[in-house]
Each structure stands twice: as C-alpha cells, then as structure tokens.
Structure 1
Amino acid sequence: MARHGAEKAKGGWLGKAAALCCAFLAAPAALLAESEEGSALLQSGLFDTDRAAITAVDLSYEVYGGGFHVLSLATQAIVTPRRYEIVSRLETRGIADTLFNGQMDSQAHGLMTPAGPELLTYAQDYAGYFGERSVDIARTADGSYEVTAEPPDGIHADGSLPAHTLRGTIDPLTASVFTAINDTDAPCAQVVPVFDGRRVFRLRFRPDGEEILQPESENAYAGPALRCKVTYEAVAGFSRDWYIDQAKDPLKPFTIWLASFESADKKEGAPDRFNVPVRLLIETRYLNGVAHLSRAIIDGEERIALNASAQP
C-alpha cells in the first residue's frame, strides 16, 4: 500500500514537476569550462575552435517545493553556429532526498538549422527510489528515430508512433534551453514539440508581460525579465490513467521568467544575446514549486555568482 501511494505521488505533483523542470531547465552549472565533460566536448572534434564561434553556457538552478529545497540542476551547453551539445544532472535535495532520493543524467547533441535545433542523439538515465529508468534516442538517415526505453512504457507499451507525430520534435534537454539557443525575437510566442522517448507533448508559450524580479533567496537573479505562460499539451503516449488524473486535477499553465544576457563572444556567427530562464513557477493542487537560477557563467564570464544577486 505504501509503495502504491508512492507511485501515485510519482504520477502526481512529483511527476508533473519533473516533466516541467525538464522542459524549462537546463542551462548549466559551474562545470563546463572546468569539468572533464566540458573539456571532452571541446576536444571531441564536434566543434571546430578555429572556424566556429563557440559559446559556452553554464547555469545552476535550485528548486523548492512547499518552501523546502527539493532539487538541484546543473547543465552545461556548448553551442556553435552549426552544432550544440548539452549535458545535465538533476539530483534530489533535502526532504525529497530522504523520501524519494534519485539522480537523473541527460545528454543531447544536434545541429543548429535555420528552423531551429535538430536533435541527433539523446540519452537519459535515472537511478533512485523509483528504480532504474533509461531512454536512448538516435535520429536515422531517413529522419525518423531509433528509440530504446527501459522500462518499455508510454509509446513502447501502446505501439509505435506514426512518423508525422514525431516530425519536428526535440528532446526535453534541448527543449529546456530552446529559448536560449533558438534565434528568435519573440521567445514567449512559440510552440516547442517535444519527444522524451516515451511520450510526445507540446510546450505552448505565450507572452505575459514584463517584470523587475526581486531575489526570493540569497542566490537568485534580480533584474528585468520577460514573463511567459507555458501550457503543457499531451499529444501521444499518455496512459488512460494520466488522462483521468488530468480530468480530476488539470495541470495549470506554468510561468517562466526569461532574462536577456549579452554574449561576450564577438566572433562572426555568435549570438548577440541569450534568453535564459531565471525563474519557474509550477502550481498544483498539493503545493507550488519554484526554481531559481542561482549561478550563470556565459563564455567564462560569471553573470550571477553563488551567494550573491546580480544583474546581467
């Protein structure tokens, strides 16, 4: 019975919060320039340092639920005019670590195209209280995806998806930094189709004004931000129980605040500015979840430092 209750929690606000965090967050923590992963990305041959304008984005987020510190997210991204590479780690903290401890590692790489990011490969591995879960996605020569998932739920339980359902989708990790790496003048007016290896959903952004954010904690961004409302729209791979749960407790649109950070890289082809998610609010029947950008390093320049509030 206790385990069944835990699984219900997983499918309830915890599951929703995790899905939304993946879709919002992933811009990076202080790992990229100094980490082995970051060095490996630069030395892998995927990025031509002599001819390409390389931008390194490194952000950290802290997530709170009901006033308690529950998650930390660290992600590193390297972007050139032609390619991108992203790695992230999401870990439980505080009371969540005691009750539902877990860690999720993700990585994605793809191409930058005039239409936006195009996924080539994506991998996600979770280990913790709910067991072990993994997803691997690879784009094939004909533009479709090869997918393996353990356990085989979602589309793998219901049958394969038609090709047109997956067309134009990106993975959750790429989606989480979509506003930063996608060249658009209207980051709060777009629709992002996402395939997580099990399910397809859309993130529909709409503008909701501008705001001067005040820091809600010691390590949080303060300054001007665009406010977006984002609606999570199920497309395929969702269970009947999920739709029943949504009928009883519909997922409210969540709120994302984006701040514009100027790029320090003046090479040809490098973006002038990045629209970085600095705050996220998720509202549910049970509690509210808030994520804060606590550290930002862009091209080696610290824009928000730990234990300090700063403006870009």
Structure 2
Amino acid sequence: MQQARHCVSLLAVAALTLWLGGHFPSRPALAENPLAAASRITAVYRVDLAGFNLGNFNLTTVFRGDDYEMRGEARFSVLQGILYQWYGTTASAGRVTSAGPEPAMYALSFSEGGKRTEQLRMTFGAGAVTDVQIVPYKLPNPRDIPVTKAQLEGVVDPMSGAFLTAHSENPNGDLKVCNQTLPVFDGRQRFDLVLTPKRAVNVQRSATSAYTGPAVICRVKFIPIAGYQPDNPGIKLMTETDEIEVWLIPVRGTFMYVPYRIVLPTPVGYGTAVVTSIAVDGARRADAAP
C-alpha cells in the first residue's frame, strides 16, 4: 500500500513526511548550533488515512554537540492487521549548522503485510548524495524521469528536512518559518517543497493531543523534479492540489519549530498526522513550550 509509505514521508517530509532541506535566511544571531540547547526530543504522531487510524509514528532525535541522530518507528494496520499491516523504521544522521542540517546518512526499512520488504540506505558527502542502495534492487522503470547527478547536490533527506529546518528566535508563532523552499531526495524521487505562510493560530488541548499554544500553518506546494512517472495519479494529485499544509509549533528550550499537524490529500482520501506528545530533555531556554 503506497499510501502507508507516503504517511511516513509526510512525517519525514511534511508531505505524509512531510520538509521533507532547507535553505534558511542568514541569521547571524544563531552562529552557534541553534538546536544544541536540547539533548533529546521525543515525539509521537497519530497517523490517520481516509478516516482510519493507522497507528503511531514514534520519533526520537538525539543531539551530541553539532551532531544529530534521528530514528523513527511506525506500525500501521487496519482492522488489527486483517485488511492491512505495515511496519517500518527510518533513520537519519548528520550535523547541524547555522545554515541548516547537513545529512550524512538516511535509511528506510519496511515490511508490508509480512510479504513485501525493502531496505533503503543513502549516504551524503560534500553537500551531495554520494550513494543509494536499495534491497531488493529493481531496474528503474523506463517511464521514470531519470535523476541526474546535478539534481542530487544541496538536497536533504526527508527526516532532516521535516524536523531540522524551521528555526526562529520568536517562540510565539513566527510565520516567517514558512518562507522556505526545501530540496528533497528520498532515495528515489527528487522534489521540492515550497512553503508559504497561511495563518497563525492558537492550538487548544484536545482528546488526541496534549499541546496547547501557538502554531503557524504553512501551505505546501509539491513540485516533482525527477524519479517519477508523469502519468502517476498520485504525483498528479500532489502536484495539482493546494490542500497540503503543515502546522509548525515551537519546541520548548530551543529555536526549533517542528510539525504539529500535517494534512495531505491522497488517492484514497485525506492523510493526517498529529502530534500526541512531545518531550524535551536537556533544554536550557525556558520559553516556548509544548
């Protein structure tokens, strides 16, 4: 089920993974690592598709100085696995600079229905993708638009793009964090995510989320570049829709903004991901709270 993989990408891309890379405006005041105030951030996201609760996506990010390691785990099922079951893990590692994340490694492994399995591993060097390994290997579809070497320069993986690109010193809902274009490569597809400000809101505690506080809503435009088939209905839907959005919230003790809610139309209905809990260890700044 391709939609389950998209749910992980929405979270790991802001698109069901979704920023999913980012180019940031220069911020001289953040010359040091803007994320170093936290040593660990753990978050849980509830993922729904077409009215069905698929399960949770659990994410842990650990910072050691300028280095970061991220690991996500998801177990999705419909009717307790009778209709559908999917399990996957994803990971990313690299370093954080004042200009944004510099990934070194990205990996995705999943099992679908206990039958189809896949492992993807991608490495980076000198600001570009240097190697992609996919097991089992399949020959590219001749209808795919090929990915060129030049298109793999200056990109980020979905995990780094989704969670390490939005920064602001304003903890009260800064719409400027929506002003960015994110060049993403997920091991197969090269695409841009163009974020623009939509509106600022105040989130109230609900039955599915314990967060209360400011959030900014970004409109997300999906622009495919390579690694896809132009007649793919899912790609056409993502390209033509203006309904993809991500809600970003400030993380207590840091300059980070991370996804609170992601909305993405898919061929089978809307996909959503909402943070149900988030915890920060080692933070030294006391404002901006989830």
Quickly name the TM-score band, shorter chain normalised. 0.7 to 0.9
Q: Which of 259, 269, 273 is the aligned partner of 1:291?
A: 273
Does residue 262 of structure 2 align to residue 280 of structure 1? yes
Q: Which residue of 1 aligns with 2:60?
A: 76
CA distance in 2, matches of 1:128, 1:90: 12
Greater share of strand residues, 1 or 2? 2
Q: Which of 23, 41, 63 is the aligned partner of 1:57?
A: 41
Contact 2:13/2:158 (8 A) holds in 1: yes
Deviation (angstroms), 1:115: 2.4
TM-score, structure 1 as length reference:
0.72
TM-score, structure 2 as length reference:
0.76
| Aligned pairs (5 A) from 1:14-93 | 14=4, 16-24=6-14, 55-93=39-77
AA matched with 2:275: L
Alignment CA distance shift 1:178-1:26 (3 Å) = farther
CA distance in 2, matches of 1:71, 1:26: 15
Deviation (angstroms), 1:92: 0.2
Structure 1 residues not aligned, in runs of 5+ = 1-9, 28-51, 264-271, 302-310
CA distance in 2, matches of 1:287, 1:142: 37
Alignment CA distance shift 1:159-1:253 (3 Å) = closer
Alignment CA distance shift 1:283-1:111 (3 Å) = same
SS in 2 for 1:246: helix
Per-residue Cα deviation, 1:180-212 (whole angstroms, up to 9, x for no partner): 5x5687321101111111111111111011112
Alignment CA distance shift 1:297-1:26 (3 Å) = farther
Per-residue Cα deviation, 1:1-33 (whole angstroms, up to 9, x for no partner): xxxxxxxxx34x555444323313889xxxxxx
Does residue 137 of structure 2 align to residue 173 of structure 1? no
Q: Which of 90, 93, 98 is the aligned partner of 1:109?
A: 93
Larger Rg: 1
CA distance in 2, matches of 1:248, 1:109: 28
CA distance in 2, matches of 1:248, 1:173: 19
AA matched with 1:190: Q
Structure showing greater relative contact order (alpha-carbon pairs closer than 8 Å, 6 or more residues apart): 2
CA distance in 2, matches of 1:167, 1:199: 14
SS in 2 for 1:101: strand
Q: Percent identity?
A: 24
CA distance in 2, matches of 1:152, 1:159: 18
Deviation (angstroms), 1:222: 2.8
Greater share of helix residues, 1 or 2? 1
Deviation (angstroms), 1:162: 2.5
Does residue 146 of structure 2 align to residue 146 of structure 1? no
AA matched with 1:92: F
Per-residue Cα deviation, 1:220-260 (whole angstroms, up to 9, x for no partner): 42322111111221111002442686169944441111111
Paired residue total: 260
Deviation (angstroms), 1:97: 3.5
Contact 1:154/1:199 (8 A) holds in 2: no
| Aligned pairs (5 A) from 1:183-194 | 186-194=176-184
User: CA RMSD, aligned part only?
Assistant: 3.2
CA distance in 2, matches of 1:243, 1:66: 17
